[in-house]
Every structure is written in structure tokens, then in C-alpha cells.
Structure 1
Amino acid sequence: MSFTDGGRRATGLDPHRLVQIVVTQRTGERWRGSGYQMTRTSVLTAAHVVGDAESLLLCALPAAGGTTAAGGMRTDGAPDVTVMEAPGRVVWSDDELDIAVVEILPAAGPGGWRPGGVLPVRYASVAAPVDCEVLGFPLFKLRPDTVSRHRRTKEAIWYRDTHHARGTTTPWSNLVARELEISLDSPGPRAEPGRSPWEGMSGAVVWSGGCVIGVVTRHYDEGLHRLTASKTERWYRLPPDRFDTLQRLTGLPARPGGLVRLPPPNNPPGWTAPPERPGAADARSAAESLARAVREQWRGEEQRQRATSRYRIQVRFDCTRRNVYEHWAGIRTPLADTLVPPRELADPLPLNGRLDEIVDVYRSVPSGRLVVLGGVGAGKTVLVSRFVLGLLHQRAPGDRVPVVFQVGSWDPTRQSLKEWMRGRLLRDYPFLEAPVDDGRSQALAVLDEDLVLPVLDGFDEIGTALQGTALGELGRTDLPLMLTSRPDEYGWAALRGVLTRAAVIELEALTVPDYADYLHFASRPIRSDGERSTVWEPVLHRLNEQPRTRGAEHLAQALSSPLMVTMARTIYDGTSGRDPRDMLDETRFDSAEALEEHLLAAFVPAVYENRPGLPARRRHRWTPELAERRLGFLAAHLEGLSTEDRRYRDIAWWELGTTLPRSVRVLVIGFLAALAFGVTTGIGNIPVDLVTTAQSLSFAVVRGIIVGSLHGLAVGVAFGAAYGYMSRSGPPEPSRLSVGFSRGGGKRRAAGAPRFLIGFGLGMPAGVVLVLLDRGPVGWLGYDDGNDGGLQGAFLLPCLLGVGAWLALSVAHWAMTPVDRRSVASVSGSLATNRVNTLFHMVVWMLVMGVPAGLGAGLQGGPLWGFLAGLVFGLEAAFGGGLGYGLSFTAWGQWVALVRIWLPLRGKVPWAVTAFLEDALDRNVLRQTGAVYQFRHVRLQEHLTHAYHAHHNLGQKRDSP
């Protein structure tokens, strides 16, 4: 059992955890040493300090604000001592390493030390010279207390004060002894002849970069300016049982890879930092915001998992036996090191472990490159989640931020890895759109400054023809990374060349002991014959006691993956009346594959049953059959998007409309734009004709219908054609900007300049067409109202529309600013941002077009005429220009037209599609990755796709004559 505290770590040396150890030997002799409180009840010190001790007294500094008379540690045990004291007992010691752990025993009396809980510290190893610090109680800090006197002798009380020594250490001294040499300033005069002034400093913990790097062991054999320390990485040579005890008592990482490397790998020996280029400070700030966003995202994912089950299957992994990695000498060489590694580095690394040890295993790989292989449902995604959160828990400011990229969408023949990652960062974390000092986006800056650790999930989703190319491109980069893949696909790609310097581990199949407790404790308990049990007890008994029966063999083989275990637990949870013993029926399930298909088919109906006890927010109106059909449509949509070069897994809200043929989408967009503009124009013309002309109500109504129909048709054709042209390159991605009226970021505004040309490209031709319609068909039908402005109006209207459209787009774009970096990328947040942007566009179009038109008309025809003209012209601009622009050119407009209106009309998705997706997320059918959803399991997506096609084909056969 390792010492943890929710992933939080202490930030560095805390003087109130410093402990002076007063040792009384069996001979009666007393001496003192230093120590540091590592947990609530344990103190780390040197073994020789507490060796041959008959009794130990532990003295701690008072809490902040409480001091002794002289601010230090007294030594005579006088009754008026105000320091905190408690007896101690040695519970672990090693003479060779010269380290020991002392237990803080309960203190007697009201003034005794009752230590509270403390955060675990971070540990590090030193690979190059670094600065360091030591805090302890050396002999040269012996002081007389000028205030207090001994009660009996009236002599001054002597005490040792603290000394904070600061210096440097290097791993290149004491290579044979494998110790750390610490160089310090002079300690001051010797306190007594023949004694070292550093006496009492033994056992003090050595710190560097906010991490523990060793414990002081000697102070007299290398001169007054030197201390010697037992270094942390050497502690891993202990026998496993002794090391496990030390780890439990001190919170030491389970593997050497869990040690922070000092200095960071980016700074090899002899490296001198170049002058900081513009934007580097902003990049570091952006990296901290990115770390917070990633942490919140994956914490949310983990919380959803815990809402389903508080228990976790401990997936096991080991170094793969496949021939898919290079020489160990290369793997054991840091990426920054281009030297030929010595042969002693050619031994394999111990890469076996369990799910919670993945961070330590990764850190034990000097190259910083790790490939994780596992079959479908083997637990790769859960491992990725634990890796990201674990690495973030141990992360220090300035460290790389682990970010998960679904690498299946990368085409290495079209985009470099950096360019592709930049796009993914902007999609999932839109606040990184903000520029840094030199004009780069923050997304590009954090990549340029090497502040991102890519976690490339789903390498097998890259098209087969591109996998070898992708692996070669990854090998040519100098990035540390983690890569996950199915074994066969990675093996085929590795035939063309393995990923250089990458260690490869493979997830192991589960056995009954791996999931027995999970199935037992994650299911509702029942009482049977007076004992508490679960529905799984008979099944687990059969798997353990009769494993060679056909039914047990099939079930054990089916439950060898975490995917099937979690599905089985969900389906047979003890609340639905289903009995898991049915899965042992060898006549019904004649193979493990048949059992897996059964679990896949039963999973969605099981999670959509409105069982008693479900929260009210999860008891929706979607029946299991309807939910399965809707999910099947989404799965089939992803299959339709997939190509030989890419398998789609992302349910992107802005791409859902592409399930429709492009011709249908053009018609829908054109129709809605025509309807919006036509109805607004038709209704708006009626009060204008009634106020400004002598025509009757019937004339105004008929004219409104004619004008609205013709204008709507023209605008519909225009926007439909514009959409058809723009959609050839794919659907528009969501805007990464929000309404903020920021004046910063000239580069960002310049990038939007081509969009402004749309105003001239659509506005002026639209004005010409509207003039021709008013002067032509409307007049020929006898419904000319005389408000066309003559020749001057025919010339000014196209110009006004062109300039107005350009100005409206300019103002709307000027008002945009990158989203708040405190926000976390989500589907609902992305939709809300884009909805507000589109509505803001409409308001801008109304004001920019309506106000000048109203002022101009008011000067000619009076205030009432000006008000009506401005209102009508503004509303036409808002619904014709603003809404038409939104429908044709923005992701949210197409979402509304195609997904919120057309697809529900056809019965493909529910009207409350966002609520349906969020509900599926709550039920663990989907998962969220940034601004997109994914099916939680690829196998489930494939099953739903086949079921949807089977149902669709069956329906077609029934409808055929």
C-alpha cells in the first residue's frame, strides 16, 4: 500500500516539518540529529543517527506564529520548554544506505506533540549539477538562551538553532560510492575542538527543485565545505519486501521512473539557455491554463466512471514479447542525448505493472517514449486516463502538459504532426486561439516551446496504407510521447521500421482474480441463507472451481477484457432480475464470441432501462429500442464518414448534418434562408405601403406576398449556391472566438479579412437582383408602390447592400475575442458560444443596415417613415443577411438547419438531440473528448452500426411489394 493523498503533493521544503532527534544510547550518551516529517506518523533520517538508541525524543518546531524563547531547540528537557515533543521508535533502517524511518509515538501530557496530516513530498534524481538546500540543526548553531535560566543551577540554557544551508550538488562526484556530494559555504567556527561544526546535520533531507533528492549521512571526511548524502535513486536497489515498507512509510514512488528528473530533460549538461524569444512567457502561461483544462476534462471523465462504479479493474501490463521495438540501448538513451550509449545500458527495463503504476513505468523510460498495445476493449482508454491524471498530479510548473490526441484523424501525407496537433488543440481548447507577443496562437506557441506531451490514442485508427508513413514521421520527431494501438496494426506498421527509442508494453488478458472483487463489490448485495452475497457468487465459484467446463471456459475467455467485464457487470448488476448464471449455458452460447455478441446486444437496453433508484435526470422518455436506433444512426454516420485513410470516431456536432446528401443540404439551407428573408420582407412591406402610400390593405397584403416570395426566392438561391460552393471543402468548424470587443490581436483580425469580401461578393449582386425584381415582375404585375427611389435608388441600393454587408461582417469580426481561458472545452459550451456569435451577427446586421436606412428615409419622408424604413430594412438585413450568412457559413447555423430541424423531421435523431447526447454520456454509452463525443467502446460502435443497417434493410424489405 503506497502513501497517497488524492494526488496532491507538497510544493517544497516546509520548516514546520523539520524534526530534531535527541538520541539516548544504552551507554547513557546523548547526541542529536535532524529529520523530516514525511507522513503523519513517520520521520525520515539517517540510520547512524538512531543506531543503538535506547530512547528517542522527537522535537518539532512550533506551528507558524508559535516560537520558543529563543526561537530554537532546547536540549536540557526543562519543564518550561515550549517546543513540540513526542517519543519515537525506529521502524525501518538500512545501514548500507544509511537511512532510517522513525515512528512518532503518542505523546503523554497536554503539551505533547500531536502531529497532523501532511502532504506527500515529491522525490527526484539528479542527472547534472543543480542547486540544492538543507535545513537542520548543526553543532555550530549551539546558542545560549539569554532569557531563560535553568531552574536549579540558574545557568543559561543552551539550544541548537536551525541552519538553512544552500549550495550545489553533482552526480559526478562519489561515483564509486554512489552518493551525492554537496558543496556549501563555510559553516562558521567549530563549536568545540575536534568536533565537526556540521554535527547534528546528519539525517537532514536534501532538497532541489522542490523535491527530495537525498538524506545527509556524513559531514567530516571531505572538508568543511562538503556534506555527503544518500541519494534517492540508490534506494531502489533494496530487496522488494524492504523497499515496499520504505515506500509505504515515506511515499516514495514505486519505481525509479516516478522520480522527477533534475534538471529537466530539456536542459542537458552544459546547456545554456538562449535568450528568451518573444511569446515564450505567454506560452508558459498558456501551458498552465492548458494543464488546468486537461485536468478538469479528465477528472470529469473519471467522475462519470465512478458514478457507474466506484471500483476499478486493475489491468496488468508487461513488456511485449512481439518484435516491435529497437535495441534497449536506444530506449535507455534520452532523446536529447545523441551519443552512442554504452553497452551496460543494453539491459531490459522492468516494465511490468498495474494500471495505477503507469506513470512510474513511463518515467522509468529514459527516452520518454512508450507504446501501449492492447486488443479491443483491453483497457487502453482507461490506462490513458490514469496516465494523464497521474502525470498532472505530479506535474511541476514548466513541465510538459499531457494532452490526449485521437491520432486516427491524422493524415501524415498532408499535415505535419505539429500542424495537426495545433488544429486539435484549437478545436478542443479554443482559448489557445489567443495570440502571444509575436502573433503566434498560444496553441502553436506551446508546441514550439515543447510544453506538450502528446498522448496519441488509437494509432490503429489511421488508415492501413498510412500507418507505416505515420510511424516513420513520429520516429523523425524529437518528441517524448505515449502511443496506443491494437497489437496487429502496430506490428504491421513496424515491419517498415519501429518507433525509434520507444519501449513497448502490452496489456495482459484478465484472469478471474483480476475481476472477481470488481464484480462482487460493484453489484448490489443480497442475502442468502443469512449471508450477504451477490448474483455473481455462483458464477465466480464456477469459474474458480470448475474452470475446465465448456461454459466456464467460454465465459472466462469472454471476460478476459475489461470491456466485456464492465458490460457484464452493467447488465447483471443484481437490480434487473437477470441472472449471470445464464452465461454459463453452453448450449445457448457455444463460443466466447457468441457471449461477447450477447453482451454487446444487451448493453444499451440495460443502461436505458428506467430502473428504480436511477436519478430523476437520467429517467428520460427514450425507450431502450428508440435509444438503440438513434445511437445506431450516429454509429452508421461515423461509418459513412470513414475512408480507407481514416476511420471516424468523433461525433462532432458540426458534422452531423453531413449525413444528408449535399444536394439535400443545399435545398434545406436555401429553403430556410428564403423562408426567413421572404416572410420578414413580406410582412415588413405591409405597414410601409399603408403609411407611405394611399393603397388599400388588400394591395399592401398582396404586394407583400409577391415581394416576399420573389425576394425570398432570390436570397434562397444565392445562399443555397454559396453553401453548395463552400461545402465542397467540408463543413465549417466551430468558431473559436466569442463576443468580447477585444482590441488586441491584429494578426487574428487580419486573418479574417477574406471573410469581409463575402460582403461585396453577396451584397452587391443581391442588391442588383432585388432592384431588377422590384422594377420587373412586381411592376409588371401592377404592384409598384412608388417607393423605389427611381434611378438614384436603383444605384444606391446595391452599393448600400455591398458596403453594409462588408461593414456588418467587419464589426462582428472586430467584436470577437478568444474564449475565456478559464472555460473548459465541451460540446454544450462550444454550441453556446457559436449560438451567441450567430445571434450577435444578426443584431449587427440589423443595426448596420437599419440605422443608416432609417436616417436617410427620415430626412426625406419624416420621422415615421424613417422609423418604419429603418425597422423593415434592419429586420430584412438581420434575417436575410445575418441569418442567411449564419445558415450558409457558420457551424451553428448548419447545426440548427440540418440537425435540429431536418434530421428530427426525418426521425433520425430526437428533437432534443443535445439532451440525448448528454444523457448517453451520463449512461457511459458515450464519452466526451474536448468538443466532440465518441462511443465509449469501438466494439459497441461497430455493433450498433451493424444492428442499424440490419434494421434498416429489414424495414426496406418489409416496405417492398
Structure 2
Amino acid sequence: MRRVLKWVGLLYVLMVGAFLAWYTAHGHQVDRLIAVVSAFTGLLALPAAVIAVLRPRSSRPGLARLEDVADQLAQGVRKQWEAEAQVRRLNDPFPLSVEWVAAEADLVEPWPHLRELARDWPGQSAEAASTWAVSPRGLAGSGGDIAQVFERVPTRRLVILGEPGAGKTMLLIRLLLALLGRRPPGGAVPVLLPLAAWDPVRQDLYAWMADELAQDHPALRALAPSNPSQAGTGTQAGALLSQGLVLPILDGLDELPQAVRARALHAINQVLPAAQPLVLSSRTAEYRHALTPPAGTTVLVNGAAGIRLLPLDPAKAAAYLERDAGGHGTEAAARWRRVTASLSAGNPISQALSTPLGLFLARTIYNPRPDEHFTDLSDPNELLDRSRFPTRQAIDTHLFAAFIPAAYRPHPHHPTRWTAEQAQSTLTFLARHLHHNLDGTPNLAWWQLFKALPSYGQRLTVLTVGLMCGLPVGLMLGLRLQFALGAGFGLTVMLLYTVMAGFITSSVRDSPSSGIRWSWRGKPWLTFGLPIGIIFGLWFGLMLGAARGLRFGLAVGFIGGLTFGLMGGIRSVTPDLDKAVGPAVLLARDRRTFWSMTLLGGIMAVALVIPLGLFFESTPALVIAVTLGFGYPIGLMLGLARSVWMEYLVTRIGLAVLGRVPWHFMSFLADAHERRGVLRQVGAVYQFRHIGLQRHLAGRQ
């Protein structure tokens, strides 16, 4: 159907153009004919535009129950993390099998208390109790055992502890995917949430989790399904949380500022019901410190058991490095012999390569890719130099520093668009942006990039929109009327729309749009738009002069105000629930919203103003000027109100001019995620591969 409409539209344009050319060639007057054709075209396009806006964009019918919403969310979460596991190369060359034991007794609740607590919960069955571990020793395991271990905890509350880079997030992803595989229809959906994005001082835990869910799955911003038993739940994200249909997997308590970690634990205990399953990860030392703050009592996670990840087995680490280099017996693998022979000696190199993160960095730096020769790379034996690397921290710093140049080293058959120096500069800038402008959050969101510009960044957006609105009017009237009058009128219009753009950018939207649709809740816009349009029309009529000009100005003001009011009723649309919207897709949808609003504003103005011009016997040039002065700017203004793309565009161009980011910024981020392994994707945002890498680049280590 879309293809048919496209060809019909093209045929219509060609026929009208050919007819106008023939009509002009025969010496006929074309002023009135152009106006008629334009009016007919505008009226012809209006129904199609209205249908396009009113038509639901979601491919799925409305969901009647929260359980159905949860089922669709589970599909989206599964697709999201299966793709991310592949990008992170968690199974290449083979899955690293981390091992763990029960956490120390002073970090968790006593085991008899957990069993007693779980028995008192309503609906607890004897069959479920038979799967519980007899003691904390039953929680020991490795690799794929994590889902079974979680089921052995009577309360299904588990704290996962480990050293930096020990594989906590990797284990959480494996647990999430395993739980999704066991999840019954209508059951709770495991969702991985990075705690570094939470401010427990200013944000309620439920509100923050709902925001994170809606950010990754914009469909959850919609109102909850109508159900008397679920009244007052608000959005679908909030309703899922309040009904216990989300299993929170909270990653990285240690990534919160030290001063608020104890407060975060208190908020988790206070907000989450006792029977709410939960998974929490943290570095061991930071978790212990959070439990026993200098001022206050010890705060354990209510009803939680715990496990502690162990260092990698030296033999497994050696096999992993050699297999990634091509396998035992190859020359590239032989370069690791001295290093792997020292992995059990307790020296700095054995400590640095005892974690999945250390192995990932080392393999990227020292192992050749396909079509590369190992002689062109640094020798891993340099890590044994105790004069250069006397401590584990020195080796960790070296691996972080060498990682980005290694990730961006030239490929003999696939040239990169960005050199290692360009990537290093951009990623350092972004890490510092996260640290200085966004309070250290790991979430790199394109719609927050404007905060990286100095204070004049938002003013540039406002000025750009003002120029886009006023410049066409000034040029049109400057060519048609006296230049001074046209320039003055255009400047006045530009200033007016600049003020409006400043008001909109400072008060309307702070998150991307996923689409548009009409809503009758736009009536307040109608009551606001009509008076403003009439006032502007009076001023316009006075500038034209005479009674005819005043009548024309009033009529144009009425039509413009009506257009603004009708356009103001357009709201965001809800996408499919079973898709986690990535950064590039979200940007494309937000950009489409901006230009759709602009186009609709122009179409509605053409359809409404040109017939008015025919009634007053105005020239086509004046009608076009009025259209450019009202419809196109109104669409721009509402596009600015309904999306954040223009603000991002101006920021990106400004930062590219300053040399801070590449011109093709989103392509750079996608490449850093999909090909380089420097970034990871969590729903709609990017994050650095490890918080340690982010802090290293930001100069915090």
C-alpha cells in the first residue's frame, strides 16, 4: 500500500508539473491557477496526513492484562540480552566458568532465619521447600549452575559479591537468561538495572526502576491496563513493579558514591516487600563497608543469602588465552607460555589475569585477529617486567591504557573510519562528560549530550530554530516587497519564534519521542493557540495596512491559531512491547517525530490558508509567505516540543566543530559497541565496557 501511494504521489506531481508547463507555454495567466492547484494539493494531502497520524503505530493490539504486558516484556528483555551477550563475546572462544562459594556469614542473614522466613510466606508449598539448600554450603557452584543456586535460596534473594572485574555482570546476564528460560507465562520478568544510574537521596527506588524500564522499553510509558484490582497503578512500568511482575537484578552497588551506599541498602529494604525476589551485586569490600557505616547500625539486605566469586583457576585462564590466540601448538599461543606458567605464583600478573575482565583486556591487546600477524603486536611477556609493573594496579592501569589503541588498531582488509588517536580523544571526552556533567552515571544517552556543551549550547538550539522560522519569511518578503520591510518583518518573526523556542526547550521535553498520534487532550492547546494566532494576525494586518489588510490578518491569525491548536493535540505513540529500543532506533524515531510535526504544520497551513487567500483574492506569493510564516514555524515549534532531536543535532554539530566528537557520532558509538567491544549497550543507552575503564578515562584512577 505504501509503495502504491508513493507512485501515485509521484505521478500526480509529474502530471501537475507537465500541465503547468504546457499552460504557461501557451501564454495563459498562471497566478490563479497555481493557487488553485496548491490548494487542491494541500487538501488532497491533508486526509492522508491525518490518517497517518491517527493510525496506531503499534503492530499489536492493546493488552488487556498486566500478565500479557509481562509476557511481551520478557520477549523484549530476552532479545536485548541475547544480542548483548553475543556482542560482548561471552561465549567466544568459550564461556569462562567462574566459581563461587557462600559469602561470609557476617554479610548475610543466618540460614535458619531464611528458611523460617520463607515458610511463613503465604502460598509456600512443600515442593518448593524441597529445593532449598540445607546450609549456605549448598550455594557453592560454577558457571551455568547460577540459576539452580538461585532456586536453592529459600527467599530467592541473593547478593553476588566479587573483586573488580571478577565477572559479576557476566554472571548476572547468564542468570537473567536462565530465569527467562524457566519463566512461566504471566510470571515475573527478570530485568537487569545498573545501580550507578540511581540517586537514592533524591529518587524513590520504584520510581527510578520504572523510569529505567520505560527508557529501555518505551511502550511501558503507556497507562496500565484497565483492571479494577489494579487501579491507581499509573504507567505499565509502575504497575508491573507494584504487582511483583518484575524481578529486579540490581548491578553494582559499589558504583554508587560511598556516602549513599548504606542509604541505598536501607531504601531497598524499606521499599521492596519481604517476599519480593531480588538479586544484588557489589564488590566485596565496598559491600562490607556499606553494611557497617561509620555512624549508624549494621544494615543487612533483608532475607538475602550471598555468594562470593573466586579468582579464575590458573589452568582455565591459561587455556582461555591460548585458545583465543589460535590454540595449543600455534606460534601465537606459544607467546603466552612464560605468562601462563607464572599464573599460579601469586605475583602481580597472576592477580591481574585472575578475572574475566583482565583476560578480556589481555586478549584484545596481545592476541591477533584474523588476517593479523602476531609479530605486529606487543609481546605479552612485557607484563612480567617487575620494574615496569611492580603491582597489580600498575598492570591494570597499563591494560586499560593499551585497550583502546588495541581495539582500534588498523585492520589490513577492513580500514577503520576512526584512528586510535581519534577514538581515544572522543572516549576520554565522553567519560569526563559522564563524570563531570552527569554525576558519574554510566549511562551514555545521546539525548543528554547537550549537557556536554557550555551554557550556550541550549541557546544555540533556540537561535537555530528562530533562524529556521524567520529566515524563509524574511527572504520571501524581501524579494517580493521592499528589502528593508521584508528584512524587518523577517527579523521580527525570527525574534518572536526564538522567544517561543526558548520557552519550549526549557520547559517541555527531556526524553526522546517514539512516534506521534492525535489525542483530544490537546484541547488546551486549542484555547491557547487561537488567542495567540488572532493577536499575531492583528499585528500582521496592521503592517499590511488598510481595512482589507486588517481583515486578511485577522483571518490568517484565526487559521494559524487553529492550526497551532490542532497540531498541539498530537501526542507520543506506544511502540511494540517485545522490542527493547536501541539508541539508533530511538534517535531515528525522534527525528521522524520532529520532521513529521514540521511537515504536518506546513500541510495544514497550505490546506487552510491558501483557500483563504483565494477568498481575499491575494497573490500566490503572499499566500506562500503566510504559509511560511505560520504553518512551517508552528510545525517546527511543536516538533521541538515533542522531540529532542534538534537539540541533539545542534549539540553534535557544535561538539564536532570543537573537535570533541566525530561528525558521525552515532556511527562511532555503534562501532565502539558492535566491533570494538569498548562500549556495551543497555537498552536505549550505551555504557563503557567496565566502570573501571570509564573512571580510568575520566582521570579518576
TM-score normalised by length of structure 2: 0.80
% of aligned pairs identical?
Answer: 31
Q: Say if 2:109 is the partner of 1:326.
A: yes
The alpha-carbon deviation at position 431 of structure 1 amounts to 2.1
1:835 and 2:594 equivalent? no
1:482-541 CA-to-partner distances (Å, cap 9, x unmatched) read: 11112233223322310111011111223422311110101135867xx89432123213
SS at match of 1:483: strand
Q: SS at the partner of 1:946? A: coil
Task: Evaluate the alpha carbon distance shift between residue 542 and residue 482 of structure 1 in structure 2; reply closer, same or farther with a 3 A threshold.
Answer: closer
356 and 877 in structure 1: CA distance in 2 versus 1, 3 angstrom threshold? farther
Distance 1:447 1:481 in 2: 12
Q: Which residue of 2 aligns with 1:660?
A: 453
1:303 equivalent to 2:86? Answer: yes
Distance, in Å, in 2 between the alignment partners of 1:902 and 1:788 is: 47
Q: Which residue identity does 2:452 align to in structure 1?
A: T
Cα distance, 1:532–1:485 mapped onto 2, change above 3 Å: closer
Deviation at 1:568, TM superposition (A): 0.7
Which of residues 842, 846, 855 is equivalent to 2:611? 855
1:333-732 aligned within 5 A: 333=116, 335=118, 337-338=120-121, 347-435=135-223, 436-438=225-227, 440-476=234-270, 477-478=272-273, 479-495=276-292, 496-525=298-327, 533-543=333-343, 547=345, 553-574=347-368, 575=374, 576-612=376-412, 616=414, 619-643=415-439, 647-662=440-455, 664-685=456-477, 689=480, 699-723=481-505, 725-726=506-507, 732=510
Q: Is the 8 A contact 2:348 2:391 kept in 1?
A: yes
Letter in 1 for 2:71: E
Once the two structures are superposed, what CA deviation does each residue of 1:361-418 show, in whole Å capped at 9, x if it has no partner? 1111010100111232121111111111111122222222111112233344544433
Distance 1:946 1:787, change over 3 A: farther
- Quick one: which amino acid aligns to residue 69 of structure 2? A
Say if 1:677 and 1:337 are closer, same or farther in 2 by CA, change over 3 A.
Answer: same
State the match for 1:73 in structure 2: none
Give the conservation status (yes or no) of the 8 Å contact 2:364–2:407. yes
* Secondary structure of 2:430 counterpart: helix
Q: Distance in 1 between matches of 2:610 and 2:197?
A: 51
- Contact (CA 8 Å) 2:139, 2:149: kept in 1 or not? yes
Describe how 1:106-145 pairs up with structure 2 within 5 A: none
> Deviation string for 1:271-320 (max 9, x for gaps)?
xxxxxxxx995211111111111111011111112399332322121112
Q: 1:913-956 CA deviation, whole Å, 9 max, x = no partner?
A: 01000000021100010100000111111111129x9xxxxxxx
Alignment-derived partner of residue 681 in structure 2: 928
- Describe the superposition over 1:565-584 as per-residue Cα deviations: whole angstroms up to 9, x where unpaired: 21011101043421101111
Q: Structure 1 pair 657/336, CA: closer, same or farther in 2 (3 Å)?
A: farther
Assess if the C-alpha contact under 8 Å between 1:762 and 1:802 holds in 2: yes
Q: Secondary structure at the match of 1:611?
A: coil
Structure-2 residue corresponding to 1:804? 563
Which structure features the higher share of strand residues? 1
Match of 1:120 in 2: none
Contact 1:850-1:872 within 8 A present in 2 as well: no
Q: Which residue of 1 aligns with 2:30?
A: none
Paired residue for 2:515, among 707, 731, 738?
A: 738
Is the contact between residue 458 and residue 647 of structure 2 (CA under 8 Å) also seen in structure 1? no
* Cα distance in 2 between the residues matched to 1:930 and 1:651: 11
Q: Secondary structure at the match of 2:138?
A: coil
CA distance in 2, matches of 1:354, 1:423: 34
- 1:702 is displaced (CA, Å) by 4.7
Bigger helix share: 2
Q: What letter is aligned with 1:329?
A: P
Please name the residue that 2:54 is paired with.
Answer: none
Distance 1:704 1:502 in 2: 73
Shift of 1:598: 0.8
Q: Structure 2 unaligned runs (5+)? A: 1-61, 293-297, 369-373
What is the RMSD of the two structures over their aligned residues, measured on CA atoms? Answer: 3.2
Q: 1: distance between equivalents of 2:134 and 2:338?
A: 49
Change (3 A) 1:790 1:861: closer
What is the SS of the residue equivalent to 2:193?
A: strand
- Structure 2 distance, partners of 1:539, 1:914, is 39
Partner Cα separation in structure 1 for residue 116 and residue 515 of structure 2? 46
Question: Is contact 1:768-1:798 (8 Å) kept?
Answer: yes
- Indicate if the aligned counterparts of 1:428 and 1:930 stay in contact, CA closer than 8 A: yes
2 CA distance for matches of 1:595 and 1:359?
A: 34
Deviation at 1:760, TM superposition (A): 6.0
State the alpha-carbon separation in 1 of the partners of residues 115 and 496 from structure 2.
Answer: 68
- Secondary structure of 2:267's counterpart equals helix
Contact 1:669-1:887 at 8 Å conserved across structures: no
In structure 2, do the counterparts of structure 1 residues 759 and 932 end up closer, same or farther at CA, with 3 Å as the change threshold?
farther
- How far the C-alpha of 1:593 sits from its partner, in A, is 1.4
| Shift in CA distance, 415/335, structure 1 to aligned 2, threshold 3 Å | farther
CA distance in 2, matches of 1:639, 1:523: 36
Superposition deviation, residue 676 in structure 1: 0.2
Matched, 1:846 2:602: yes
Does the CA-based 8 Å contact 1:332-1:346 persist in structure 2?
A: no
Count of aligned residue pairs for this structure pair: 613
* Contact 1:378/1:563, CA 8 A, preserved across alignment: yes
Q: Is the 8 A contact 1:426 1:443 kept in 2?
A: yes
Q: Residue 468 of structure 2 aligns to which amino acid in structure 1?
A: A
Residue range with higher mean Cα deviation, 449-458 or 875-884? 875-884
Aligned counterparts of 1:881 and 1:537: Cα–Cα separation in 2: 69
Say if 1:677 and 1:879, in contact at 8 Å, map to a contact too: yes
Residue-by-residue CA offset, 1:816-858 (whole Å, 9 max, x unaligned): 5311234331111111111111111112212333322111111
Cα distance in 2 between the residues matched to 1:771 and 1:514: 81
Q: Residues 6-25 of structure 1: matches in 2 within 5 Å?
A: none
Instruction: Tell me which amino acid in the other structure corresponds to 2:315.
Output: P
Q: Max radius of gyration: which structure?
A: 1
Match in the other structure for 1:36: none
User: In 2 relative to 1, CA 460–764 (structure 1 residues): closer, same or farther, beyond 3 Å?
Assistant: farther
Distance (Å, rounded) in 2 between the aligned partners of 1:415 and 1:336: 33
Partner of residue 109, structure 1: none
Once the two structures are superposed, the pairs formed by residues 233-312 of structure 1 within 5 Å of their partners are 282-306=65-89, 309-312=92-95
1:79 counterpart residue number:
none
Q: How far did 1:346 drift?
A: 7.9
Distance 1:787 1:561 in 2: 83
Amino acid in the other structure paired with 1:706? G
**How far is 1:795 from its partner?**
4.7
Instruction: For 2:691, give the aligned amino acid.
Output: V
Counterpart residue identity of residue 500, structure 1: N
Aligned equivalents of 1:450, 1:739: Cα separation in 2 = 31
Specify the code of the residue in structure 1 equivalent to 2:433.
H
Q: TM-score, normalised by structure 1?
A: 0.59
Unaligned runs of 5+ in 1: 1-278, 690-698, 742-748, 776-783, 950-961
Matched, 1:896 2:673: no
Give secondary structure in 2 for the equivalent of 1:846.
helix
Cα offset for 1:337?
2.4
The CA deviation at 1:451 is 1.7
Give the whole-Å Cα distance in 1 for the aligned partners of 2:602 and 2:557. 17
What letter is aligned with 1:297? Q
The Cα offsets for residues 593-649 of structure 1, whole Å up to 9 and x where unpaired, read as 111111110000000012236xx4xx4221101101001111011001344xxx311
1:634 aligned counterpart, secondary structure:
helix
Which moves more between the two structures, 916-925 or 302-311? Answer: 302-311
What is the DSSP-based 3-state SS (H/G/I as helix, E as strand, rest coil) of the residue aligned with 1:818?
Answer: coil
Task: Kindly indicate whether residue 671 of structure 2 is the aligned counterpart of residue 919 of structure 1.
Answer: yes
